[in-house]
Structure 1
Amino acid sequence: MVDASIRLLDRGRVVADAGFVLDGHTMGTAANPNPDHEMREFVVWSAVIDHPEGTYLWDTGSHPDAGDGYWPDPLYATFQHVDADEHPLEDDLAAAGYSPSDVDAVVTSHLHLDHAGGLAAFEGTDVPVYVHEDELKYAYYSAKTDEGSIAYLADDFDRDLNWRVVHRHRRTLAEDFELLHLPGHTPGVMGARIDLPEETVLVAGDECYVDENYAGEVPLGPGLLWSERDWFESLRTLKEIARRTGADVLYGHDKHRFESFGDGWNLS
């Protein structure tokens, strides 16, 4: 296996109703017609993959002005990135010993506003920005019309970026580093399989926000689910890879799961 490392970057916390992440979580029943709503704290993260073929940045987090009018008020009231202003991409990279100029390529798992908010750091450069074809199309469709999803902001990605479009369901980005198309949450969500000397890391990303989505196979709530059928098919893909490899599975926003992996993998 290639001698690469994965360093996790903590990009802050989003507070939201668990019902958005777990379908039916707070639905009433005859026995409990008025269930309590559960507010949860979710992690936002990026990762730096230091590979012999280059240094790759996975996602760019939220824009630091998310809570200061950059995100639309109704959306921020639903998904509050409460400390976005404390997590500019440049600062979080610096804390891990990197700068944007060290990054050879960016992978955008998808273009929602909590994943694409730092792309401006690579505007006007020749740094490749990888995105799935279906995601790029849907992001522009959503941001530029009244259709699609409100979770895309044109100001995040409608920039002079060196897009590298990923087609089909798998793309080898570097040795033992494979991108996986995992539609469901959005049309073009990407995860990854990264084979390290001692272990395999399987990036589920927002296919699975939290462990209940993966282990319990509870779909995302309707507001976060583009296609339930595709979501289940993507979950089968992840679980089959995990079964064959014994991989560590990294979810999109599960704070406890994220913290359980410390600073990352193969960092010594």
Structure 2
Amino acid sequence: MVDATVRLVDRGRVRADEGYVVDGASMGNASNPNPDHEMVEFVVWNAVIDHPEGTFLWDTGSHPDAGDGYWPEPLYEAFEHYDAADHELEADLNRVGYDVSDIDAVVMSHLHLDHAGGLSEFAGTDVPVYVHEEELKFAYYSAKTTEGSIAYLASDFDRDLNWEVVHRHRHTLAEEFELYHLPGHTPGVLGARIDLPGETVIVAGDECYVDANWNGEVPLGPGLLWSERAWFESLQTLKELKRRTGGDVLYGHDLERFESFGEGWNL
């Protein structure tokens, strides 16, 4: 196994209705026609994979001005990243011992606004930004037309970036560091398997927002699901990885799960 490290970077909290991320969480029925809505705090995170072949940044978090008009008001009302201003990418990397200038490559799990808001730090540089082909297409389609999803902002990613487009369902990024295409939440979600000495990290990302999506196999809410059929197939891909490796599965936004891994792996 390669002697790499995976260090988690806390990028703040989003407050939202649980029903967005767990299908049916707030649905009424005959005996309970008016169920309570539970507002939940979700984590926004990045990771730094410090590898002998380079230092990789996983995602870039939200734009620090998310709550000051950068995000459209309806989106911010639904997904309130209330401390985004306290979580600029450079400052958060500094807190865990890195600078933006240390990053050799960026991997974008997908291009939603809570993941792509720091890409401006890499505009005009030669730092490669890995993204799946289907994600890049859908992001531009969504941001530049009235079709697709409202969760993409052109100002996040329509920049002079050194795109490295992933075309296949699996892509070896570095030794023992493999990307997996996990469509469902969006057409082009990327996850990863990172094999470290004595342990494996499986990055599920937003394929699984929270534990209920993984353990209960409950889909995301309809507003966050591009394709339920593709989502279920991607979930089984991850579960097979878990069976084969016994690895730790890192979800996209589950605060308790995120905190359970401390600062990361092999540190």
Instruction: Give the TM-score band, short-chain normalised.
Output: over 0.9
Paired amino acid for 1:241: L
Query: Alpha-carbon deviation of 1:198?
Result: 1.3
For 1:27 and 1:73, locate their aligned partners in 2 and report how far apart those are by CA, in whole Å.
25
Partner of 2:56: 56
Q: Deviations over 1:54-90 (max 9, x none)?
A: 0000000000000000000011000000100000000
Correspondence list, 1:118-197, <5 A: 118-197=118-197
Q: Deviations over 1:111-155 (max 9, x none)?
A: 000000000000000000000000000000000000000000000
Instruction: Name structure 1 gaps, 5 residues minimum.
Output: none
Post-superposition offset of 1:97: 1.0
Partner of 1:31: 31
Distance 2:124 2:100 in 1: 13
Letter of the 1:90 counterpart:
E
State the secondary structure of the residue aligned to 1:35. coil
Tell me the alpha carbon deviations over residues 20-45 of structure 1, each in whole angstroms, 9 at most, x when there is no partner. 00001111100000000000000000
Partner residue in 2 for 1:78: 78
Report matched runs for 1:221-260 at 5 Å.
Answer: 221-260=221-260
Query: How many residues in Structure 1 have an aligned counterpart in Structure 2?
Result: 267
Secondary structure in 2 aligned to 1:81?
A: coil
Q: Distance in 2 between matches of 1:19 and 1:106?
A: 31
Give the Cα–Cα distance (whole angstroms) in 1 for the partners of residues 81 and 243 of structure 2: 34
State the alpha-carbon separation in 1 of the partners of residues 251 and 165 from structure 2: 23
| Deviation digits for residues 165-207 of structure 1 (CA, Å, limit 9, x no counterpart) | 0011000000000000000000000000000001000000000
Given the two structures, how large is their TM-score scaled by the length of structure 1? 0.99
CA distance in 2, matches of 1:154, 1:182: 23
Sequence identity (%) = 79
Name the counterpart of 2:217: 217
* 2:114 maps to 1:114: yes
- How far apart are the structure 1 equivalents of 2:118 and 2:139? 16
> Structure 1: how far apart are the matches of 2:203 and 2:49?
12
In the alignment, which residue of structure 2 is the partner of 1:266? 266
Distance across 1 between alignment mates of 2:126 and 2:21:
36
SS in 2 for 1:253: coil
TM-score normalised by the chain length of structure 2: 1.00
Looking at structure 1, the residues matched to 103 and 121 of structure 2 have their Cα atoms a distance apart, in angstroms, of 11
Aligned amino acid, residue 95 of structure 2? A
State the secondary structure of the residue aligned to 2:231.
Answer: helix
For the residues of structure 1 that align with 2:190 and 2:130, how far apart are their CA atoms?
A: 10
For the aligned residues, what is the CA RMSD?
0.3
Q: Which ranges in structure 2 are unaligned for 5 or more consecutive residues? A: none
Aligned-partner SS, 1:209: coil
Once residues 217 and 242 of structure 1 are traced to their aligned partners in structure 2, the CA distance between those partners, rounded to angstroms, is: 14
The one-letter code of the counterpart of 1:102 is D
Task: Specify the code of the residue in structure 1 equivalent to 2:61.
Answer: G
